[in-house]
Amino acid sequence: MNADGSALLAQLQDIHSAGQPLWWPPAPGWWVLAIIGLLALAFVLRKIVNWLAVRHRRKAWLRALDDLNRDYDPLQHPHEYLAGLNRLFRAVAVKAFPDTACARLQGEEWVAFIAALMPEDGADKLAVLASGPYQPLPSFEAAALNASAGTWVKLYG
């Protein structure tokens, strides 16, 4: 070996390890995982907000039903009571079935629409909603209509 080669060999150092990896910026896989996590969180939050809105709306409609029962005695003010029930049924139907023509239905068609969507036990009492407001003294079971309205709100509100 010559003198120049010995000098060059003397300058070589032993193998050393790399330094510790830094925590920032994260690897691309962590960015993808973070984006997926944020999208999942946004989806869950949206579902929770929708669920809370439906719950709040149901409570408001059930409060309206309680207010109707408190404000109008079915024996003293049957027309106002039936009109209030019709408004409640229609408000729930318009919100639950926006793509149908339920807002324009009247009379027997309206009652048939409601009865088709109700459980079997509550559908037969609804006929008074079609004819009751136009009769001088309509006869109906207020408790059964009240129960049907509560079921309607709980099912579709």
Left (φ > 0), alpha (ψ -120 to 50) or beta: where does 30 sit?
Answer: alpha
User: What single-letter amino acid sits at 139?
Assistant: S
pLDDT tens by residue, 87-144: 999 999 999 999 888 888 888 899 999 999 888 765 668 888 888 877 888 888 899 9
pTM tops 0.85: no
Report residue 1's pLDDT band, with 50, 70 and 90 as the boundaries: low
Query: Among 95, 105, 99, which residue's Cα sits nearest to residue 155?
Result: 95
Confidence of residue 5 (pLDDT cuts 50, 70, 90): confident
The helix/strand/coil state of 100 is: coil
Please state whether 3 falls in left (phi above 0), alpha (psi between -120 and 50) or beta: alpha
Report which secondary-structure segment, H or E, holds 89: helix 78-96
